[in-house]
Amino acid sequence: MNKIWAVIKREYVEHVRTKAFIISTVLGPVFMLVLTVLPVVLALSGGGEKSTLAVVDGSGQVQAEFAEALAAFKVKDGAPKYTVVPVSPAADPETQKAELGKSVMGGTYTGYVYIPPDVLTGGAAEYASRQTSDFEAIETLNRALTGVVVGKRLKTEGLDPAKVAAYTRPVKMDTVKISEKGRERDAGGSFIVTFVLVMVLYMTMFMYGSMILRGVLEEKTNRVVEVVLSSLRPFQLMMGKIFGIALVGLTQYSIWAVFGWAVTRYGGGIVKAIAPAANIAGFAMASIPPYVFVYFVVFFILGYFLFATLYAAVGSASNNEKEAQQMLMPVTMCLVLPILMMQYVMRSPNSGVSVILSLIPFFAPILMLQRISIVMPPATQVLGSIVLLVLTTFGLVWLTAKIYRVGILMYGKKPSFGEILKWIRYK
């Protein structure tokens, strides 16, 4: 036991003081913060470019009101976003469009809007510009023009556009999540939190698994393993390594948890300070029940041990990183598949397929955690997935120990899957 402890200590100290650990620990939260705050800030400061639009009104009735509607849009400093330059319609629309196109190319206009004479009876308008990728701008123009044209049509029929707008106002529908805590408003925050939690789980299992793999491979290729094995059993070395890296992971999680708490507590304030008008729905962390976080830690630990064992087996059987990458394929599949299934589970978390998928030990950490964070599944299912996960992990530890003790001392050609199976039977 003292020997395992010595291995754990070595693994822990060696990893915690690497630059990679310090950087990923610090940058992880910064990255998360940037991912949450940046889109909000960008969206708010967007649309900062001014445009000069040539407007050809073939109908002669729309242009003035269209310009008026566009005047409502401002850039950040309060200046109007759109400068409308009315252009009289020429006899031949096609020639005129070509002419305007040249002006757009020349830089006189950002673009032009061509309104056909029959716009009120269904004719299609045309917006031309050098860049047509700004869907928001196109949407804005379309909506403004539609508003004006519909207003005109209503007036022709003797209706008051303002009244019609009021009558056809969409009905607002709030989403309310009912849970043990009662009713709570869900503004989409829980979806984001589920997604973030599952991704963190996925990435860290991947990251720490690779750490195990590299460690095993390093000991093997450095040949230090032979000296170490003259002092302790392969099983002790393997378990020491797995537990050591687990502690590295928990250390990193603890640091992130403190940071996460700080963001939840003060993050809204930060966003408000940067962008006062921001909708801070994304910071609905606090409304996530604490048991989700408990299960998060439980499934991280269980999932970590399952995958760490697999990574250790692959590391011991391969001779170099390249071989390891090839042999890792099935392990990587087990990690990636549940990510692909997430969307299905998100839509129907309690369907038979979802239940079965989330009970499969290799998928359980990600999919069961996802289900728990959407709506708490029956206790038997949660317990069942945990029991299956634990049993599978014990089975894999037993198998891997047998592969590891042979593989770690086996140099030379890449072993086939059949050979690895034979190792299990060695005395």
Partner 1 sequence: MPYAVEMEHVTKRFGTFTAVKDLSLAIPAGAVFGLLGPNGAGKTTSIRMMLNIIIPDEGRIGMLGRTLDDSMKARIGYLPEDRGLYPKMKVGEVLEFLAEIKGVSRAAAPAALDKWLARFELSDWKAKKVEQLSKGMQQKIQFIATVVHDPDLIILDEPFSGLDPVNTKLLKDIMLELRDKGKTIVFSTHRMEQVEMICDDICLINKGEAVLQGRLAEIKKEYGKNSIHLEYGGSIAFLKESPDVEKIDDYGRAAEIRLKEKADAQSVLKSLAGRVRVDKFEIQEPSLNTIFIEKVGRSEQ
What residues make contact with partner 1 under the rule CB under 8 A? Answer: 2-3, 6-7, 10, 14, 218-219, 222-234, 409, 419, 422, 426-427
For partner 1, give the closer residue by CB, 336 or 421: 421
Least Å distance, CB 411 to partner 1, is 8
Q: Which is nearer to partner 1, 85 or 232 (CB)?
A: 232
Instruction: Give the shortest CB-229-to-partner 1 separation in angstroms.
Output: 5
Q: Radius of gyration (Cα) for the chain, nearest Å?
A: 31
How far the first Cα of the chain sits from its last, in Å, is: 23
**CB burial readout 247-264, b (16+ within 10 A) else e:** ebbeebbeebeebbeebe
Residue 397 and residue 380: Cα distance in Å, rounded? Answer: 25
Helix and strand element counts for the chain (H, E): 15, 6
Cβ proximity to partner 1: between 183 and 425 the closer is 425
Rounded Cα distance, 165 and 293, in Å: 46
Looking at residue 58, what DSSP letter applies? S
Nearest-5° Cα angle at 83, 81 to 86: 150
Q: Which residue, 13 or 34, has its beta carbon nearer to partner 1? A: 13
CB of 422 to partner 1, least distance (A): 6
Q: Which residues pair with 129 in a beta bridge?
A: 111
Please report which helix (H) or strand (E) contains residue 183, including its range: strand 182-185
State in angstroms the smallest separation of the CB of 419 from partner 1: 8
Identity of the residue, 57 or 219, whose beta carbon is nearer to partner 1 in the bound complex = 219
Min CB(212)–partner 1 separation in Å = 16
Q: What distance in Å separates the CA atoms of residue 246 and residue 290, rounded to the nearest whole number? A: 22
For 371-382, b/e burial (b = at least 16 CB within 10 A) is bbbbebbeeebb
Q: Which is nearer to partner 1, 3 or 153 (CB)?
A: 3
| Contact present, 391 and 401 (Cβ < 8 Å) | no
Least distance in Å: CB of 203 to partner 1?
24
Which long-range contacts link 273-281 to residues 24+ away (Cβ below 8 Å)?
A: 274/37, 274/41, 275/40, 275/41, 275/44, 275/45, 277/44, 278/40, 278/41, 278/44, 279/40, 281/187, 281/188, 281/189
CB of 415 to partner 1, least distance (A): 11
Nearer to partner 1, 69 or 238 (CB): 238
Give the distance, in angstroms, between the CA of residue 243 and the centroid of all CA atoms in the same chain: 29
CB of 186 or CB of 419, closer to partner 1: 419
Q: How far is the CB of 233 from partner 1 (least distance, A)?
A: 6
